[in-house]
Amino acid sequence: MKEFEERFSELQSDMISICMEYVEDRADKVYVYASREEGIISSRFFYCINNKYVECHKVNDALEDGDERYDVSPKRMLMVLRIICEDIEKIEELCKEYERDMPTEMKLIYDNKSGRFKAEYKYDLVYTHDEIKTADHIADEWFEEIKNNNL
């Protein structure tokens, strides 16, 4: 059982690492939304930088005067999303291999200052049974919740 947990943790760590690399390790917190539901894989990532909550394409808005700018080119952003999605696929393979349930949703929070990591999982359908909502809606709602509650 230990091997499953270790490999699962490694894949989550990889998601956090690539998001930290995107901001050159210069973020207070990183948030990763990873979803796998009914054949759909989706992911988003955002940050808390200088006590400002920003989506990945707006990280430069959180910088203070004189701070070195981040490279937020679409190419870099897509590379991060691709790696997160590949990790989600690897988690799915791992769950199949060990006959474990695959989470439909993973919300990962990494506090860069304390080194603390927090994860929340759901196993029920989150949006595919909803006529309107998509994974993007859910990720947006989570971002707003984090921002409004300073989580």
Q: How far apart are CA 151 and CA 128, in angstroms?
A: 27
How many structural domains does the chain have? 1
Please compute the mean of the pLDDT values over residues 125-133 and round it to a whole number: 86
pTM score, whole prediction = 0.94
For 51-97, write each residue's pLDDT tens digit.
Answer: 999 999 999 999 998 889 999 999 999 999 999 999 999 999 999 99
CA count, 13 A, side-chain hemisphere, 67: 16
Residues ≥6 apart with Cβ < 8 Å to 100: 4, 94
Provide the residue range defining the domain that includes 126. 2-149
* pLDDT at 1 exceeding the cut of 70: no
Q: What CATH number is given to the structural domain containing 68? A: 3.30.500.20
- Output the pLDDT for position 132: 86
Strand partners, 44: 33
For 5-50, write each residue's pLDDT tens digit.
Answer: 999 999 999 999 999 999 999 999 999 999 999 889 999 999 999 9
